[in-house]
Chain A
Amino acid sequence: MIKAGTAQWLLHDVKNRGITAWLLAVVLTSFYLVLYFTEWLTPAARAVGLDGKWTLYGLLYSIAIVWGGIYVIRKYRHNRYQIVRTSVVIFVQVTFAFSIPQLLKFLHQPEYYFSYLWPLKMEYLTPGYIFSLPLPFILYSFLGSLLMVPVLAALFGKRWYCSWVCGCGGLANTFGEPWRHLSDKSSLSWKIEKVAVHTVLATSLLLTALLFVTWGVGKSNPEVARFTYGFQSFYGLMVSSMLAGVVGVGLYPLGGTRIWCRFFCPMAALLGLVQKFGRYRIRVKENMCISCGLCSKYCEMGIDVRSYAQASQSFTRASCVGCGLCAEVCPRGVLRLENVRVRAPQEASLIQISPMPSVRQAG
């Protein structure tokens, strides 16, 4: 039941796909369309003394994360995991994703974002670009993407990136907090997710392979080069601009905060595959779940956590970003995120949980 009062009605409306939520979605989507496809923001950036629209965007993005982050830390102040995680998110955004690149630019170095890695940031394994940078950047790109990302994911799950470091996840978990519950929990959406996200992953891998081929033999094969660059700009338009920006953030108030991460992000898909066979899991306390459904409701990735919890089944889902909100909202303390050495084999698989709980007969 909605609380009494106009302010409360508005709050409910904007958080639950009401008219104000639709309006906000239009505003956010338009903002991204303007940002990506026009230069209208450039004068605004200049007017406040910034060098271009992307710096202005970075500044606004950082403000959204800091502001939302403070709200989240206050809201979950009794939960140390949330405090630590959100503090790291804010720190990474303010430093690696904003100040450091600006500083590098100021020092006439490449504008490099240490918090973004391939395949989320395709440029960082695009040979034509990356090999033009100084050696430390090249090393960081290769070692970061190919070694650090999978190793940390195997040890801690994809959460180390998706809900601690990444800016997309960072925005979702701070500014996006009021809309996290809007993710679709149906089994149908899970099916769509698996197809969609792995399609984008495959596409990104293919593009990277083509970019390497072109880098090697493109000069002597202009046909190949033309195709590759066409493909590259198509990918840039569709994935990086449309899906990550316009759809990913623009639709926060309608479809929840992780549309991009869940259905389209190639990095999340890759990390998810590692996670399934790594140490991370959500542990479920046996027989303690009251099936209330708060965990599922507040899962931003649309995981039906309750279906596992009420079957007393600890689990690892590829999509889980480890934000820890299921454990936070559970009124019976049923869930716990953890990294374990040994896991029951069935946990790693994407089993369809049977609706039947299994009961131990005592005595």
Chain B
Amino acid sequence: MHYVIVGNGVAGITAAFALRKRDARAKITVISGESEYFFSRTALMYAFLDRMNLRDLEPFERKVYQKQRIDLLHGWVEDLNADRRELRLKDGAEIQYDRLLLATGSAPNRPDWPGLGEVKEGVVHFVSLQHLAECERLTPSTRRAVVVGGGLIGVELVECLVHHGVEVDFLVREDWYWPMALAPEEGKLIAQHLRHHGVRLHLQDEVTGVESGTGSRVSAVQTGQGKKLPCEMLGICIGVRPAVDWLRGVATPPALGRGIQVDRGFRTSLRDVWAAGDCAEFQRPDGTPFVEQIWYSAKRQGELAARAMLGDSIRYEPPLFFNSAKFFEIEYTTVGATTRLPDTARSFFHRWADREATIRIVEENGAVTGFSMLGSRWDHTVLERWVGERRSLDDVVARLHEAQFDVEFGRVPLAGLRAAFGAREVRA
């Protein structure tokens, strides 16, 4: 049996190890274009910040692949013929497979702003190793940069550029930073924090045109509010989409939507071809499609897709949502849903007066359904359990200390929060 996996990201590599664990004899090949070895995409910024070398980004020692007999092939796959179970690489090599997993991840969205097409130099993304190299090449000749897009990747790029002494204008289309995940109060706190670090944050503003100068390098960005922001670098971080464009032209394309359409057993429309990670598109019971584009999902999907390829019957159900992030120094943990809530939901919000920390607990019909915490550490597994147990808001506030995960001697005090909560109840 020859398992072939396209993409050595966390989904692909997790799948490869999971296959090996259960099938000691199979041949396993992982093909990937971006790098020979699996690296942690989430840590790209730490290489940019000089906190790590590229080699440090690799989560496993290289000899692990030899030991686990996982063959790594460095190259881009260009063609897929599912009838002949064959892949063709850019260099012409042909690979036969018995079972194939597509785990090709994401690619950055590219807008069609007027003028962008004429720019030949200075426009960057921040998703791949190649993007990192491009950012590093351009940074020394950049005094001012404009970064567009109020999500996580944008803020990471901003942090890196600020670290290297670049003046950054950060353009966010929405009313506050990251409304997808943060309520206005939290968005405001992050905005303050960014401004404190010298970032010029422009809310409710978007790009309307891009100008270029000598050598066709980007020279300025025009915005909807009529500003003209001079810059030598333009960072485009307006989200990612499944990296499936290459599949549109292959001999036997799988069914594609935004991503590679799969059933809950990770099966694509092609025989003996599965897909997992950022590139996989599922359907909700109501028929609407969804893709999950976070590390944790990709890892989980990789493991489960491997089991599906081994013949287990798998029905993928995303668990209760959780995520984490860090905005400069402020850490963020979330569980469940805390934005775009139904009208029946109400939330308790508290901001510590003496530190950059907030907490939000969402309750719906007498049961807690979501948490959003900034600036302190929490054990998300405890929070998840409380949601699962449908605990009441009062109960959760009373036992909140059980979920604290701050360092020893460093727990954020809860007395003030509880007092505020009590006072709120009296008023209600």
A residues contacting B by CB (< 8 A) are 1-4, 12, 78-84, 186-187, 285-288, 290-294, 296-297, 306-307, 310, 324, 327-328, 331-333, 336-338, 354-363
Of B207-215, B255-263, B292-300, B392-400, the one with at least 4 CB within 8 A of chain A: B292-300
Q: Which B261-313 residues have C-beta < 8 A from chain A?
A: 295-296, 299-300, 303-304
Is there an interface contact between B320 and A294, defined as CB atoms closer than 8 Å? no
**Helix, strand, loop or mixed for chain B's interface?**
mixed
Is there an interface contact between A293 and B59, defined as CB atoms closer than 8 Å? yes
Give the CA-CA distance A82 to B165 in the complex, in Å: 28
Is there an interface contact between A79 and B410, defined as CB atoms closer than 8 Å? yes
B residues contacting A by CB (< 8 A) are 10, 14, 17-18, 21, 40, 42-43, 46-52, 56-61, 64, 68, 136, 139-140, 163-165, 295-296, 299-300, 303-304, 314-315, 317-320, 322, 324-326, 329, 331, 333, 377-381, 405, 407-410
Of A292, A307, A360, the residue contacting B46 (CB under 8 A) is: A292
Q: Which 3 A-B pairs have the closest CB atoms?
A: A363-B317, A362-B319, A80-B410
Is there an interface contact between A290 and B295, defined as CB atoms closer than 8 Å? yes
Is there an interface contact between B17 and A355, defined as CB atoms closer than 8 Å? yes
Chain A residues in 8 Å Cβ range of B318: 362
Chain B residues in 8 Å Cβ range of A287: 296, 299-300, 322
Is there an interface contact between B324 and A332, defined as CB atoms closer than 8 Å? yes
Give the CA-CA distance A359 to B59 in the complex, in Å: 18
Chain A residues in 8 Å Cβ range of B47: 1
Tell me whether A294 and B317 are in contact in the complex, defined as CB-CB below 8 angstroms, given that A80-B407, A187-B61, A333-B405 are known contacts: no
Q: List 11 A-B contacts (CB under 8 A).
A: A1-B48, A1-B50, A3-B165, A4-B140, A82-B407, A84-B409, A293-B57, A324-B407, A332-B324, A332-B325, A333-B405
Chain A residues in 8 Å Cβ range of B163: 3
CB of A17, distance to nearest CB on chain B (Å): 11
Chain B residues in 8 Å Cβ range of A80: 407-410
Give the CA-CA distance A356 to B165 in the complex, in Å: 40
Q: Which residue of B lies closest to A11 (CB)?
A: B50
CB of B156, distance to nearest CB on chain A (Å): 10
Chain B residues in 8 Å Cβ range of A297: 51-52, 56
Give the CA-CA distance A297 to B40 in the complex, in Å: 13
Is there an interface contact between B410 and A331, defined as CB atoms closer than 8 Å? no
Is there an interface contact between A355 and B43, defined as CB atoms closer than 8 Å? no
Chain B residues in 8 Å Cβ range of A84: 409
Of A288, A296, A337, the residue contacting B407 (CB under 8 A) is: A337
Chain B residues in 8 Å Cβ range of A338: 408
Chain A residues in 8 Å Cβ range of B325: 332
Q: Which residue of A lies closest to B296 (CB)?
A: A287
Chain B residues in 8 Å Cβ range of A354: 21
Give the CA-CA distance A238 to B161 in the complex, in Å: 49
Tell me whether A285 and B59 are in contact in the complex, defined as CB-CB below 8 angstroms, given that A1-B139, A2-B50 are known contacts: no
Chain A residues in 8 Å Cβ range of B317: 361-363
Q: Which residue of A lies closest to B303 (CB)?
A: A359
Is there an interface contact between A81 and B408, defined as CB atoms closer than 8 Å? yes
Chain B residues in 8 Å Cβ range of A187: 61
Give the CA-CA distance A328 to B324 in the complex, in Å: 16
Is there an interface contact between A333 and B377, defined as CB atoms closer than 8 Å? yes
Chain A residues in 8 Å Cβ range of B49: 1
Chain A residues in 8 Å Cβ range of B59: 291, 293, 306-307, 310
Of B40, B331, B378, the residue contacting A292 (CB under 8 A) is: B40
Chain A residues in 8 Å Cβ range of B68: 355
Of A3, A81, A293, A362, the residue contacting B164 (CB under 8 A) is: A3
Tell me whether A294 and B52 are in contact in the complex, defined as CB-CB below 8 angstroms, given that A310-B59, A332-B326 are known contacts: yes
Is there an interface contact between A359 and B42, defined as CB atoms closer than 8 Å? no
Is there an interface contact between A294 and B43, defined as CB atoms closer than 8 Å? yes
Is there an interface contact between B21 and A356, defined as CB atoms closer than 8 Å? yes
Is there an interface contact between B407 and A328, defined as CB atoms closer than 8 Å? yes
Chain A residues in 8 Å Cβ range of B42: 290-292
Of A288, A296, A362, A363, the residue contacting B380 (CB under 8 A) is: A288
Chain A residues in 8 Å Cβ range of B299: 287, 357, 359
Chain A residues in 8 Å Cβ range of B60: 307, 355
Give the CA-CA distance A186 to B46 in the complex, in Å: 20
Is there an interface contact between A292 and B381, defined as CB atoms closer than 8 Å? no
Is there an interface contact between B303 and A3, defined as CB atoms closer than 8 Å? no
Chain B residues in 8 Å Cβ range of A286: 381
Q: Which residue of B lies closest to A358 (CB)?
A: B303
Chain B residues in 8 Å Cβ range of A288: 296, 322, 324, 380
